[in-house]
Chains A and B, each alone.
Chain A
């Protein structure tokens, strides 16, 4: 099989995963990887993390500066890493003087014999290193070709920007994504054991995939509580509903306040107990003793308290209240339902006093999932 065929057909299935888990889990653990499930976040590399939003500077290693065709692609990948991190992972910028991490082209490298590029994050949280094999380096399957080195990139060449983004991901903290059998989820991560060569799907991907950003969010948190969780995550959330009063006269004002946060668990890592803002949190109600819920409206996200949602209403009678969070498509949060809060309405302060509660049009059609 020549390399072009290989690149076009993608990787073979990877039964090693189960074998590793059964008989060689040690290596995975010792390689610094975290717990991983099928189609989950990329594993976590060992070594120290960077500080949130740490600005990392790099320069070309003296005597091993990348050729003119390669340098801009590495710089572009550094920019890609910052723009698509969806987290507080480090940012990268090249400098020409001062103390900085080093990126090198050609031998000697710190790469394993089968690597076309590699990195060292041993210097974290101070520095990193990165190496790229020279164009023309020979492997068992043939000669390495970088696409940028060719006037017309040929099939089988590797895109520098794609490979460099993979390396910046490693430097961040990312291990190789564990793909599903058949690699159907290959495009969900840039950080892969084998980069795809032209023209295989994804050979020119220049943004982190959702399973890359999932790990970055787990390790570095999101930039803002309003940011979506990576769709490669399933972050449990906790919704707490409180009432301004649990007993009020008919027609009295009632403010229902919901607090939406991620659960407090080590599995959520940096995302643990995070406020979750800007989501659709619905308030629903039912008559005590009944099973059917009716919508009472959308709780409005607070502008001042992250993860807080509120709605002021004037209930006509006693209800049981509950807040519901159902994440939108693309949000890696898990839906949550609050505990039931009963607010007793007593007395007679309006014309509806003594009548059955009025069902709104919305209530007649809107039923939530229990």
Chain B
């Protein structure tokens, strides 16, 4: 495995910790219909697994990736005997493939999948790498980031590469968002580090987490700098490179719906409203109160809300018509997987959303079966 960015590399390639023995999870994570039930998960006895090998290249370039609905991952904490976090067990798989497990260091984060690939940014305290895991192809690549700390990486829809949030090692100073190509080439700065004055204007103290989210069409990149009280959200128009801060504070991002950014409110817990910003301007607008989880599918926001007496209900909000309708309850305590979900992800087709089961396993939910339910109501004027 080559180090493609020697300017960044302090150390040789770190070890990839791949579990040699673990659980094989046979999962068919497709849920259909409002009364759908999750298909059984068979936990088979442990079988030895080997590390996924490097992916084959065509002319020095990565083979083109294609959408691979059903590709999934799930991260669970790897704790020592005293309860200290010593790593993350990232299990992943895809339909018709063997599931695998990768153990990564505590400072790791996972995103995707997109076109069948899962991005894992891992830092071992001395060097950072980005694992590009491709369950369908049964292989993985790695990009060595080296001396800087790669906190989070998401796929850039406009190019073969990733958008990576970097910190300076030692000081943990924000270095901004960088484009890191999958193939050879130098990283380039995409969004500069947030300025202290801007944080102070927004009332954000020390930054605890930085979230990044790219719109599917690649036109917009959102960068959130968050303290526990809320986030400053900056949006970059990728065509012009201009970065503008949204006015106000918010919680974690749910996703883009065209030029609309869907976020959770700045809440300290659940339930919490979902609000939307039109990037072109205008104030934030609430589309659903008392939300427990939400996901975006095209121009729809699917949310589970706390209903009367604490009973969860599901709604679909059409951002174009500004209407919403009840779609009943999602069976089995399913919760939509929003963009900032830290523990699971699943690639879906446009008429599906990802959901998390109560045990944390991701699954797909077909929207066709549930959307005919309910009568559309205007979102304006809702409590």
Contacts and interface: CB of A to CB of B under 8 A. Distances in A.
A26 B284 contact: yes
B268 interface: yes
B353 interface: no
A118 B172 contact: no
Interface stretch (A6-14, A202-210, A260-268): A6-14
A141 B207 contact: yes
B357 to A, nearest CB: 11
Contact of A113 (B82, B249, B340): B340
Contacts of A14: 203
Nearest to B285: A26
Interface stretch (B128-136, B215-223, B226-234): B226-234
Interface residues of B, number: 68
Tell me the interface secondary structure of chain A in the complex. Answer: loop
A35 interface: no
Contacts of A58: none
Given A66-B83, A134-B79, A193-B228, A24 B269 contact: no
A138 B107 contact: yes
B174 interface: yes
Given A20-B248, A107-B343, A122 B268 contact: no
B84 A135 contact: yes
B143 interface: no
A225 interface: no
A151 to B, nearest CB: 11
Interface in A18-66: 19-20, 23-24, 26-27, 30-32, 45-48, 66
A135 to B, nearest CB: 5
A366 interface: no
Nearest to A123: B310
B187 interface: no
Nearest to B167: A140
Given A114-B208, A134-B84, A15 B228 contact: no
B306 A47 contact: yes
A17 B249 CA distance: 10
A12 B83 contact: no
Given A27-B275, A47-B271, A193-B227, A19 B85 contact: no
Interface residues of A, number: 68
Contact of B226 (A31, A48, A112): A112
B107 A27 contact: no
Contact of A23 (B107, B269, B283): B283
Given A23-B248, A24-B284, A118-B268, A2 B106 contact: no
Interface string A102-128: 000111111011111011111111110
A48 B311 CA distance: 12
Contacts of B184: none
Contact of A27 (B265, B271, B356): B265
Contact of A143 (B106, B210, B226, B292): B106
B340 A26 contact: no
B289 interface: yes
B227 A135 contact: no
Contacts of A193: 227-229, 268
B200 interface: yes
A100 interface: no
29 contacts: A23-B283, A26-B284, A30-B265, A30-B275, A30-B289, A31-B267, A32-B273, A46-B290, A48-B309, A67-B82, A107-B75, A107-B88, A108-B344, A108-B356, A113-B226, A114-B226, A114-B228, A118-B270, A119-B270, A121-B269, A122-B310, A134-B77, A134-B85, A135-B84, A138-B106, A140-B208, A141-B172, A143-B107, A170-B268
Interface of B: 75-77, 79, 82-86, 88, 106-107, 151, 167, 172, 174, 200-211, 226-231, 247-252, 264-273, 275, 283-286, 289-290, 292, 306, 309-310, 312, 340, 342-344, 356, 360
Interface of A: 1-3, 6, 11-17, 19-20, 23-24, 26-27, 30-32, 45-48, 66-70, 105-110, 112-116, 118-127, 129, 134-143, 149, 167, 170, 175-176, 193-194
Given A23-B247, A31-B273, A134-B84, 10 more contacts: A27-B273, A30-B289, A45-B268, A66-B83, A106-B79, A113-B340, A113-B342, A121-B271, A122-B270, A135-B83
* A-B CB proximity, top 10 nearest: A16-B203, A67-B83, A24-B248, A136-B85, A193-B229, A122-B306, A120-B270, A123-B310, A114-B208, A30-B273
